[in-house]
C-alpha cells in the first residue's frame, strides 16, 4: 500500500456527464466545474439535443449558470436519431462546437425513447462521422425485452457494436460506462478506434449494493452494476494506465422523489466526491501513480485535445472528509453517492 499523502495531477476532465437543464443544471454545475476543466455533456434532455443549433443553445444555458471564476468548457454532443442530418453534424464539428455524437439504443436509459431503432436509417450520419473523424459515444446496451438486463452490454457488443465497427472501421467509438469484463476484454482486443470510459461508482459497487438487505435506489443506474468479477475487471483496467480507458463519471442527478418510488429512475450523482472516491480506489490498488492517466491524460489523447495546463492537488487527511449526503437544487433534493467507506483524500 502506498504511503503518499499528497498528489498533484493535471486538472481532470469528465468524459461523460449529465448536467440536465433549468433548476437542476443550476444546482449541479458548480460540482462539476470545481474540479473538472472540461466535460462531455450528454444530450438526453427533454426534448433531446439533436441539432447543432440545439447544442449551441444548450451550451449557452450552461455557460450562463457557471459559477463566477470557474473555468469550465462543456464539450457538446448531439443525440443521434434516425433523422440526423450529416451536413449539420459536419458543420457543428467544423465550427468546434460538437465534440461527439451519442448513440442511445431506443429505450436504453433516461430520456432515450427517441434513440435509434433501425441502424440502417442512421448510416448516413455514421458514415459521415467516420469520414470526418467525429467520435461516436455509445450507450452499449441492447434494449430487446428478451435479453436479461445483466447481459445487455455483452449482447450489444456481439450483435450491434462489433458488426457496426466491422462495417465502418474508420469510425472512432467510445464505449461509455463500461460495466463488464466482456466490455473491457473487447476494448483491449481491438486494434484501433475503440476506447472506453469507466464511471466512479462502477469501480466501487457491485450489484449487491442495489439489492442486498433491501432495495437501495440511489445505487441504481444504467448500465446497472454487475457481479463482483466485472467490478474487479473495471478496476484493473482503470488503474492499469492503458490509454484506452479514462474517466466518464456518468454523474446523473435525479431528484429524490423520482428515485425513491415504485419505478425509480436510473442515475447516480457523483460529481461532488468523484476525485476523493477515485484517489481511494487507486490507492487501494496501489496505483496512485496511474490516477492522472485515467482522469487527465488518456481522455484528451483519445479526443485529440490538449491536456489541461492547470493542476489540482489531492491531500490525504487523517480524519475522514465529509461531503453532504444531499444537495439542494431549485428542481429539488439530490442524494449524493455514498461509497460506503470513509473518504480521506480531498482536493485542496
Are the CB atoms for 226 and 199 separated by under 8 Å?
no
CA–CA dist 160, 205 (Å, integer): 27
Residue 242 is a binding residue for Zn ion (CB under 5 A): no
Omega of the bond leading into 5 within 30 degrees of 0 (cis)? no
Tell me which stretch binds Zn ion (CB under 5 A): 182-190, 191-199, 223-231, 242-250: 242-250
Q: Is 289 assigned a catalytic role?
A: no
Q: Exactly one of 250, 289, 309, 338 is catalytic; name it.
A: 250
Residue 14 is a binding residue for Zn ion (CB under 5 A): no
**What angle (nearest 5°) sits at the alpha carbon of residue 14, between those of residues 9 and 4?**
30
Closer to Zn ion at the Cβ: 108 or 288? Answer: 108
Closer to Zn ion at the Cβ: 242 or 250? Answer: 250
For residues 317 to 346, the per-residue mask of contacts with Zn ion, x marking binding by CB under 5 A and - elsewhere, is: ------------------------------
CA–CA dist 32, 157 (Å, integer): 30
Closer to Zn ion at the Cβ: 31 or 250? Answer: 250
Tell me which stretch binds Zn ion (CB under 5 A): 211-219, 243-251, 257-265, 291-299: 243-251
DSSP 24-42: HHHHHHHHHHTT-SEEEEP
What is the CB neighbour count within 10 angstroms for residue 337?
A: 24
C-beta of 267: minimal distance to Zn ion in Å?
8
Closer to Zn ion at the Cβ: 12 or 140? Answer: 140
Whole-number Cα distances in Å, 105 to 66, 123, 143: 31, 14, 7
C-beta of 196: minimal distance to Zn ion in Å?
14
C-beta of 98: minimal distance to Zn ion in Å?
18
C-beta of 60: minimal distance to Zn ion in Å?
22
Residue 250 is a binding residue for Zn ion (CB under 5 A): yes
C-beta of 306: minimal distance to Zn ion in Å?
25
Closer to Zn ion at the Cβ: 73 or 250? Answer: 250
For residues 212 to 231, the per-residue mask of contacts with Zn ion, x marking binding by CB under 5 A and - elsewhere, is: --------------------
CA–CA dist 148, 143 (Å, integer): 9
CA–CA dist 175, 148 (Å, integer): 20
Are the CB atoms for 128 and 86 separated by under 8 Å?
yes
Are the CB atoms for 36 and 74 separated by under 8 Å?
no
Q: Which residues are CB-contacts of 123 (< 8 A; sequence separation ≥ 6)? A: none
Size of the site for Zn ion (CB under 5 A): 1
Query: Mind telling me the catalytic residues?
Result: 250
Residues that bind Zn ion (CB under 5 A): 250
Amino acid at each position: 500500500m502506498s504511503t503518499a499523502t499528497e498528489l498533484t495531477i493535471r486538472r481532470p476532465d469528465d468524459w461523460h456527464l449529465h448536467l440536465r437543464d433549468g433548476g437542476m443544471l443550476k444546482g449541479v454545475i458548480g460540482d462539476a466545474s470545481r474540479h473538472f476543466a472540461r466535460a462531455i455533456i450528454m444530450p438526453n434532455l427533454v426534448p433531446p439535443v439533436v441539432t447543432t443549433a440545439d447544442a449551441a443553445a444548450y451550451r449557452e444555458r450552461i455557460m450562463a449558470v457557471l459559477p463566477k471564476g470557474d473555468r469550465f468548457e462543456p464539450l457538446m454532443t448531439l443525440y443521434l436519431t434516425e433523422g440526423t442530418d450529416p451536413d449539420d453534424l459536419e458543420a457543428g464539428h467544423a465550427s468546434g462546437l460538437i465534440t461527439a455524437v451519442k448513440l442511445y439504443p431506443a429505450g436504453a436509459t433516461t430520456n432515450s425513447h427517441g434513440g435509434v431503432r433501425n441502424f440502417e436509417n442512421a448510416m448516413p450520419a455514421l458514415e459521415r462521422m467516420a469520414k470526418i473523424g467525429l467520435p461516436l459515444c455509445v450507450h452499449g446496451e441492447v434494449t430487446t425485452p428478451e435479453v436479461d438486463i445483466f447481459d445487455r452490454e455483452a449482447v450489444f457488443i456481439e450483435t450491434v457494436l462489433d458488426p457496426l465497427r466491422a462495417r465502418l472501421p474508420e469510425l472512432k467509438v467510445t464505449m461509455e460506462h463500461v460495466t463488464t469484463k466482456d466490455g473491457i476484454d473487447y476494448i483491449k482486443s481491438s486494434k484501433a478506434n475503440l476506447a472506453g470510459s469507466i464511471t466512479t461508482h462502477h469501480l466501487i459497487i457491485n450489484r449487491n449494493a442495489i439489492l442486498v438487505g433491501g432495495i437501495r435506489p440511489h445505487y441504481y443506474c444504467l448500465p446497472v452494476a454487475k457481479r463482483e468479477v466485472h467490478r474487479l475487471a473495471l478496476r484493473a483496467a482503470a488503474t492499469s494506465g492503458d490509454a484506452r480507458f479514462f474517466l466518464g463519471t456518468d454523474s446523473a442527478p435525479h431528484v429524490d422523489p423520482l428515485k425513491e418510488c415504485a419505478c425509480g429512475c436510473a442515475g447516480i450523482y457523483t460529481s461532488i466526491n468523484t476525485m476523493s472516491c477515485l484517489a481511494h480506489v487507486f490507492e487501494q490498488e496501489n496505483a496512485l501513480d496511474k490516477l492522472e492517466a485515467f482522469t487527465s491524460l488518456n481522455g484528451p489523447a483519445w479526443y485529440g485535445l490538449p491536456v489541461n495546463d492547470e493542476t489540482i492537488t489531492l491531500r490525504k487527511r487523517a480524519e475522514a472528509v465529509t461531503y453532504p449526503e444531499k444537495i439542494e437544487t431549485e428542481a429539488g433534493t439530490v442524494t449524493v453517492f455514498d461509497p460506503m467507506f470513509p473518504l480521506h483524500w480531498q482536493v485542496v
